[in-house]
Chains A and B, each alone.
Chain A
Amino acid sequence: MARVVSISSRFRDLTGGLDGLDVDARSVRELVRMLEARFPGLGALVEGEMALAIDGEIHQDALMEPLGPHSEVVLIPRISGG
């Protein structure tokens, strides 16, 4: 089970106030699908607007990235720069 947590207030909005949840996903693509199924709009938010810190490393547009059975996935705002 990957543990998904977020620092985003929009995550809490879409999950009814949750700070984190467990998802049995083996890739980011699967994670997005499962999040969307449980909380409509959340998968689209993650895919379109969020970056992921997977076990501590930031990934952007990381749909193909694998997730381990105990991965920690932190949803964070996308980071760009100037």
Chain B
Amino acid sequence: MSDGNQPPANLKVVGTRPIRPDGVDKVTGRAQFGADFHLPGMLTGRIKRSPHAHARIVKIDVSAAEKLPGVKAIVTGAEFDVGAGGDIEAGEHAAAMKDVADNCLANGKVFYKGHAVAAVAATSPEIAAEAVDLIEVAYEVLPHVVDVDAAMAPGAPVLHEDMFTKGVMPKPAKASNVAQKHVMGRGDVAGAFAAADVVVEGRYTTAAVHQGYIEPHACVAAWGADGQSTIWCSSQGQFLVRAMTARILNLPLSDIKVIPAEIGGGFGGKTTVYLEPVALALSRKCGRPVKLVMSREEVFLASGPTSGSSMDIRLAATKDGKLTAAEMTLRYQAGAFAGSPVNLGCMTAFACYDVEHLALVGYDVVSNRPKVAAYRAPGAPMAAFAVECAIDDLARKLNIDPIDLRIRNAVKDGAKTVYGATVRHSAFVETLEAVKAHPHYKAKLGPGQARGVAAGFWFNIGGESSAAVHVDEDGGATVVSSNPDIGGSRASMAMMAAETLGLPIERVRCTVADTTSIGFSGSTGGSRVTFATGMAVVEAAQKVVADLKRRAAQTWECDVAHVDWKDGVATCLDPSKDVKPLSLKALAGKSARTGGPIAAEVSLNAQGAAAGYGVHVCDLEIDPETGRTTILRYTAAQDVGRAIHPAYVEGQLQGGAAQGVGWALNEEYVYNAKGLLDNASFLDYRMPVASDLPMIDTILVEAKPNPRHPYGAKGVGEVPIVPSLAAVANAVSAIVGRRMTSLPLSPAKVLAATRAS
């Protein structure tokens, strides 16, 4: 593991922009996604879902459906056996397996419209659909609650009779919808507020939004007569799917093989299971492969959005703009089961700023919505929305440039975060300065236009990863990765291997292995793959180089210490030897005579991930007649350590910003008075499309490569969604003439605020 050293200079592959290896397959339709897989004798699965927001299941009668010709299996939650339950690390937190199982197929109660109740496998989609209609479920409808504040109010319908708020002493005597209270802070907050020159405050809300991946959840499961099963699916982690499915069906891990399909977007939403245990339970019951594919409506109804939130914030500062204290209360929707990312919201809220006195309280609140799933920097964008809007208010109140105010308060290396880590290798100040120096920030605005600025933070993580490097007999190499490629990891893995081996990138290919073909890995999430799996790839490539040097020394009959490796060629440094250099190709061609195949596999638990910081600038205008907001210009800057493949990194920044713009302006789950979701389609759930956005400019700040990674990489995928909500909201507020505190800033809401101003 690299530790304490600056990454090497004079890189030949890292930092270049080779053509993406999966590009041709994806644009020609050859790529195999979850729904593309077929097996002989395969059945079609369908899910029976709840029509109610909250109800007790009195009876499930499948007798009529079972009699329908072509129906081969029907399962309910009774098929699941999670035993003692327990947690599995997933997405934004450890997933409670009993809750995951109950979310896949309800057990006694349904908690939201679309909650799965039963599943059918049949010989055709039409028969499966008819059988679903024939399943009769008797419900006792219960009062519902969907709003986070309403769910916390006294007298709210309680979803789980056994939920007693954790983090409160003494343990509450009554069950409630507050799963957990998080408290963190430091210093003398009350004293600092009493001494403050200026105080700003506000109450902010954000709507629940979906990750919006293009590819719906899909899988094929095949139970073998010998009990050995195979699952083909689209996910962010084949090992996670295996672990969760095995736990829910009480099977040994070794009896399940999960083969990762190409993935059409995840953004955190594919770090859990919805279909795989159901499909395997159906297949186990009838002995035939079963395919389950969600419709778009099902994706919206029953797969995780991220939390909606309500937040209260107060900031205290001196008259020259030094933040002295902050207090914040965050209330996040968890959906039907506990586990919102509110603790991460608390931890990240003030991570960009050096504030001496802090008090944060977070509430994890269940309500009659689908269980939330991770979404890009889970928990951070909502908190940053409130914090960065409040900072903007402070800048206006003190008449200080918003970038200057942030520079004045920015964390620097050595500062202590509220969650306990010391800031290291941070380039937040450099990122702010890069934005200030950028032509965008200096450009004049036209009449009726405004500019918003905001910053954001994400931890980035390391964790368990495995990778292998195999040298081919003709001198090329294959990298075997343990992580599904969502954001370009096949390219970055191949590039780091090529750099280490001294090969041109065209001679290195990367493949993603199934659960039986490579060591364990955590999921593709947390902005960890380039860092952690990349570290495993580099270490495997270094082992290969060491082996190649040993074979060269053996060939030359010299000490291995006298063998130099550069640009894929071994050179003998022993002056007593009159030998020609040996290329990797030459050594690979004779591998059988020097010890056999040349390959190495490394499994590790990567530590030392470095956090990332982003700063966004957004120019926009608002149609005074309709309230429609048009983004005119957008620049996203980020502290990226070192960009392994800059074009992919730029794509991450652009994608995160685009999703944040949607979150800020249009996206929301709309519920009716019965607690039923009314907009479960892309027609009614408005995500930004290409014509809604300008080309998003990017600034990659490479001032502080991470010395704990061989090539200086920091995670980059999550930071860029964090600042965007407030960057947009700050610009909208400037035009409207009042602080806009509730997302989304839909045309109707903006128009009403404009008229009220």
Contacts and interface: CB of A to CB of B under 8 A. Distances in A.
B395 to A, nearest CB: 29
B374 A7 contact: no
Nearest to A49: B94
Interface in A45-82: 48-49, 53, 55-62, 74-82
Contacts of B91: 80-82
Contacts of B422: 53, 55-57
Nearest to B375: A82
Contacts of B458: 81
Nearest to A74: B420
B421 A58 contact: yes
B267 A82 contact: yes
B87 A48 contact: yes
Given A76-B347, A82-B378, A57 B421 contact: yes
B299 to A, nearest CB: 16
A58 B459 contact: yes
Interface in B452-468: 458-464
B183 interface: yes
A38 interface: no
Interface string B680-718: 000000000000000000000000000000000001001
B530 to A, nearest CB: 13
B424 interface: yes
Contacts of B739: none
Interface in B336-388: 343-344, 347, 374-378
Interface residues of A, number: 28
B607 A82 contact: no
A60 B463 contact: yes
B169 interface: yes
B421 A74 contact: yes
B271 interface: yes
B527 to A, nearest CB: 6
B418 A80 contact: no
A17 B464 CA distance: 34
Among A5, A8, A13, A60, the one with the most B-chain Cβ atoms within 10 Å of its Cβ is A60
Contacts of A79: 344, 347, 459, 461, 526
Contacts of B419: 7, 53, 74, 76
A8 B360 CA distance: 12
A24 B377 CA distance: 36
B21 to A, nearest CB: 24
B181 to A, nearest CB: 6
Contacts of A77: 93, 182, 343-344, 347
Contacts of B729: none
Interface string B155-169: 000000000001111
Contacts of B460: 81
A12 interface: yes
B92 interface: yes
Interface in A1-37: 5, 7-10, 12-13, 17
Contacts of A58: 421, 459, 461, 607, 609
The 6 A-B pairs at the shortest CB distance, nearest first, are namely A82-B268, A56-B422, A74-B420, A81-B526, A9-B167, A82-B374
Interface of B: 87, 89-94, 166-169, 180-184, 211, 267-269, 271, 343-344, 347, 374-378, 416, 418-422, 424, 458-464, 525-528, 605, 607-609, 715, 718
29 contacts: A5-B420, A7-B347, A8-B182, A9-B181, A10-B166, A10-B167, A48-B87, A48-B94, A49-B87, A49-B94, A53-B422, A56-B424, A58-B421, A59-B607, A74-B420, A75-B420, A76-B347, A76-B419, A77-B344, A78-B94, A79-B526, A80-B378, A80-B461, A81-B377, A81-B459, A81-B461, A82-B271, A82-B376, A82-B718
Interface of A: 5, 7-10, 12-13, 17, 48-49, 53, 55-62, 74-82
Given A53-B421, A56-B421, A80-B90, 14 more contacts: A58-B421, A58-B461, A58-B607, A58-B609, A60-B461, A61-B463, A74-B421, A78-B94, A80-B378, A81-B374, A81-B459, A81-B460, A81-B715, A82-B377
